[in-house]
Every structure is written in structure tokens, then in C-alpha cells.
A = this chain, B = another copy of it.
Amino acid sequence: MVEKQTQRVTMHTVAHRAGVSQTTVSLVINKNAENIPEETRNRVWQAVKELGFRPSAAARRMRTHRSNFIGFITDQIATTPHAGKIVKGAQDVGWENGKIILLINTDSNPEMEKEAIEVMMEQEVEGIIYASMFNHAVTPPEMLREVPTVLLDCFTQDHSFSAVIPDEIGGGYTATEALLKRGHRRVAFANHNTETGGSVGRLIGYKRALADYGIPFDESLVCYEVGEANGGYRCSQKLFTRSDRPTAIFCFNDRMAMGVFDGLRKLNLSIPSDVAVMGFDNQELIAPHLHPGLSTVELPHYEMGRQAVMYLLNQIGKTFKEIEPQEIIVPCPLVIRDSI
């Protein structure tokens, strides 16, 4: 039976109960006790159990300088549905390797970012993940150069930090190719009207797929609007009221596709018989629930979280300078439903 704790149980209390020295207790509980008689070891473990003693992680840290913490700094966990998957992927790999994630959301506030990193340094994190909730160029605080750091779903223009990013070009190619393979030759692209890793990369992938299938790029089939449902709606009204309307459309994300669905319905065009529609993201709240279910390309958030921690695990103990910056590009798989 564990006795009720009325005050803090320390190694000293355990030593007293077992009738041994604190050093002996320390050696036993840290599994460093080959030279201690089994009978003594058993007495120590018995006392540990009776008193409900729990070795302090702080004390272990003081000894080993291994905190087992990985810092996770993120810009906007609250507003994106992807955040949970990225965090989960990071945690799952961390957990398998005895690491705990210290998560701090900073709302992209530079002052708070600085403080968050200070707090993490004080906690002696063994590495830091600096995560954004959409793929774009960032300028991370210089302080991050003090520990192994990896950017997640973002990158620096000078490539001086390692980064885990989705294969935007490959994803754009995959989405477009899925439409071309079904015989479409006039494939529109409803793109996001702000320059991000996604909007730039997916356009490159779209163009490459067209080229590989021998179809000339037609600028007039690319529509730029905000990457939301209403942006998709507006694109549909521009593209599908033309006499030479396209037969298929690739959308920057599932939300734009949701707007395209509404727009096509308004124009009395059926999906996929009149127009095939591809999304991007595989947003679970949207894609499977549209009618018909939306074919799309998945942003591999869980896998990106995993990869970030796997990368850090190999860098722990190195100084930032010893690390050769590296880009880890994670593939975006095709998810086929009924809209193409």
C-alpha cells in the first residue's frame, strides 16, 4: 500500500526508511547498483513503494543535463484544423523516444516568440520545432540558432535553417495529372491570390503536368481569388460562364472547392459529369461531406510532425553550427472520391 503523503517524500526520507545512505538510494533508483547487495536493493525499492517516492525529473536534469523536452513553437494553433495533426505526429514520435513536447502558441507575436524561446532555453529543451500553419517564408528569431531547430511547414529564403515542408509541386502535379488521366484537356486552376509556398508550388506542379501531357499552358484558365469558399465561388462564375468553358478544375484548397461546388450548382452544372473538381488539403470536415465527395490531395500534416521530431532526434547534442541545413520534403498523397 502506498501511504498517504502529507509532505514531500525525498530521497532522504527513502534512505531513512530503508536504513541506508542517500547515495545508496540514488545508485539503486538510477539502476547503477551492481555493487550493492540484492537484499539492500530490495529494501530500497520496498521503501520507494511504501512511501510512494517519485524521482524528481528536475534532480535528474541537474545531474544529466538531459531535459527530454522538445520545444514546439507555433504561430496559430487555435485557428487551423491541421494543428492537432501536426502536434500529434510530433508527440507520437517524441513519446516513443522518451521526449515530451513543450507547446507554446505565439500568435506570430515577435515579443512572445522571444519570450517563448527564453522559457524553452531555461527548460533546456534539446531541440526546437518552429511551426507555421501554412507553408510560407519566415524570419525566425536568431536565438533559435543556439539549439538544434527545425522549421515545420515554413522555410527561410536563405535556407539557413532545416525545414520540413510538404511537396507542393508534387501535390499540384498529382492533382492535375489525376484530371488529365481522366481525359480532360481544358483544366482550370483556382489558385490562392497570395504568394505562399502552396500557391507558388502548386502552380508549378499544374504547369508541369500540363506540359508532360502535351497541353499548352493557358493563362486565362488560371483564376486568382482568396483561398476561401467565396473565392472559389467567384472563380467558378468567371470560368464556367465562358462559351469555351473548361471541363475540369483544380482548386488551391478544399474550401475553394466547396465554393466551386456552390457556384457550379448555381450554373446547373453537374459534378463530375459536366465538370470534374479536385481539391487540395483533404480537410476532413469538408472533403468527405460534400456531395459528391471531394477528390483531393492530402497535406500530410501528421507525417510532417513526425518527420520534424525524427529529424531533431538525430541532431540532439549538436550545436547549431555543426548542423548542415536540410530540407525534408514530404509527399502529398492523392485521395480519390467522387468529384472527378
- What 0/1 pattern do residues 48 to 92 of A give for CB contact below 8 A with B? 000000111111011001010000000001111101110111010
A105–B87 contact, CB under 8 A? yes
Residues in B neighbouring A249, C-beta threshold 8 A: none
Alpha-carbon distance A262/B286, docked complex (angstroms): 13
Q: Does A100 contact B (CB under 8 A)?
A: yes
- What 0/1 pattern do residues 98 to 141 of A give for CB contact below 8 A with B? 00111111000000100000110111100000000000000000
A81–B285 contact, CB under 8 A? yes
Q: Does A302 contact B (CB under 8 A)?
A: yes
Contact of A289 among B88, B100, B229 (CB under 8 A): B229
Residues in B neighbouring A56, C-beta threshold 8 A: 61-62, 122, 124
Interface residues of A in 279-319 (CB under 8 A from B): 283-286, 289, 291, 302
Q: Does A41 contact B (CB under 8 A)?
A: no
Q: Is the interface of A mostly helix, strand, loop or mixed?
A: helix
B87–A103 contact, CB under 8 A? yes
Report A106 CB to chain B, min CB distance, Å.
9
Contacts A77-B84, A229-B289, A262-B291 given; does A105 touch B91 at CB 8 Å: yes
Report A142 CB to chain B, min CB distance, Å.
11
Alpha-carbon distance A58/B125, docked complex (angstroms): 11
- CB-CB nearest in chain B for A77: B84
Residues in B neighbouring A207, C-beta threshold 8 A: none
- CB-CB nearest in chain B for A112: B95
Report A126 CB to chain B, min CB distance, Å.
13
B54–A58 contact, CB under 8 A? no
Residues in B neighbouring A57, C-beta threshold 8 A: 122-124
Q: Does A255 contact B (CB under 8 A)?
A: yes
Q: Does A259 contact B (CB under 8 A)?
A: yes
Q: Does A338 contact B (CB under 8 A)?
A: no
Contact of A283 among B65, B100, B285 (CB under 8 A): B285
Q: List 10 A-B contacts (CB under 8 A).
A: A54-B122, A58-B61, A58-B124, A77-B87, A77-B88, A78-B84, A78-B88, A87-B103, A91-B103, A258-B289
A residues adjacent to B (C-beta < 8 A): 5, 8, 54-59, 61-62, 65, 67, 77-81, 83-85, 87-89, 91, 95, 100-105, 112, 118-119, 121-124, 146, 228-230, 255, 258-259, 262, 265, 283-286, 289, 291, 302
